[in-house]
C-alpha cells in the first residue's frame, strides 16, 4: 500500500522483479497490461488471476528472469487528476550479478482508492532487442496455446 503515486510507481516497478514486494499488493483491480498479441498477464480482473509475486510465473514464461530485479531509472508525470496519475518511465531488469538484462520504457497509471495508491494500467514500450525477441517467442507460444483451446 502506497500513500502517494510516486511511492506506488516505485513499488510497481520493483514488484516486477524477484523481491519481497508482493506483486498483488501493488495493484488495484481490474489492472490492464497493454500489449500487442496474446500475453498471460493482459488483464487481471479478480484476486484468483494475480500471483502473489510476479516471480511466481517466471518459470512458466521467462525462466531467465528467475532471480532478476527491476529498477526504476527515471520517470516524469504525463497527466493527473485527483484519482489517477500517469507516468512515463525508464526501467531496467538486472540479473543476479547486477548486470542489465533488458531495458524498457512505459506508461504506468496509478489510481487512488481511498488513500491507497496502486497500479491500474501498464503499457510497455521500447523493450531492448534481446528481450523483445524473447517476448515475441512468448506471444507466439501463448497464441498457439489459445488457438489449441478453441
pLDDT of residue 50: 84
Q: How far apart are CA 127 and CA 56, in angstroms?
A: 22
- Contact of 9 with 107, CB cutoff 8 Å: no
122 CB-contact burial (10 Å; exposed 0-12 / middle 13-18 / buried 19+): buried
pLDDT of residue 129: 65
Per the structure block, which three cell numbers stand in for 80? 493527473
Identify the sign of the CA torsion 69, 47, 43, 33. Answer: negative
Is the whole model's pTM more than 0.85, yes or no?
A: no
pLDDT of residue 60: 75
pLDDT of residue 36: 62
pLDDT of residue 133: 62
- Contact of 32 with 50, CB cutoff 8 Å: no
What topology is assigned to 5-149 in CATH?
Nuclear Transport Factor 2; Chain: A, (3.10.450)
pLDDT of residue 45: 78
pLDDT, averaged across the chain: 85
Residue with cell 507460444: 141
pLDDT of residue 71: 96
Output Rg (C-alpha) for the chain, integer angstroms. 15
pLDDT of residue 117: 97
Q: What residues in the chain have per-residue pLDDT under 70?
A: 35-43, 129-139, 142-143, 146
Sort strands 43-44 and 84-94 into parallel, antiparallel or unpaired. unpaired
Amino acid at each position: 500500500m502506497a500513500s502517494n503515486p510516486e511511492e506506488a510507481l516505485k513499488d510497481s516497478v520493483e514488484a516486477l522483479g524477484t523481491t519481497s514486494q508482493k506483486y498483488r499488493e501493488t495493484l488495484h483491480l481490474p489492472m490492464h497490461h497493454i500489449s500487442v498479441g496474446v500475453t498471460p498477464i493482459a488483464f487481471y480482473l479478480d484476486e484468483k488471476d494475480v500471483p502473489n509475486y510476479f516471480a511466481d510465473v517466471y518459470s512458466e514464461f521467462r525462466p531467465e528472469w528467475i532471480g532478476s530485479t527491476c529498477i526504476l531509472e527515471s520517470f516524469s508525470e504525463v497527466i493527473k487528476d485527483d484519482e489517477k496519475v500517469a507516468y512515463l518511465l525508464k526501467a531496467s531488469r538486472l540479473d543476479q550479478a547486477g548486470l542489465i538484462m533488458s531495458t524498457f520504457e512505459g506508461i504506468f497509471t496509478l489510481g487512488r482508492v481511498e488513500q491507497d495508491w496502486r497500479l491500474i494500467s501498464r503499457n510497455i514500450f521500447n523493450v531492448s532487442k534481446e528481450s523483445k525477441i524473447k517476448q515475441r517467442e512468448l506471444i507466439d507460444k501463448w497464441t498457439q496455446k489459445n488457438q489449441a483451446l478453441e
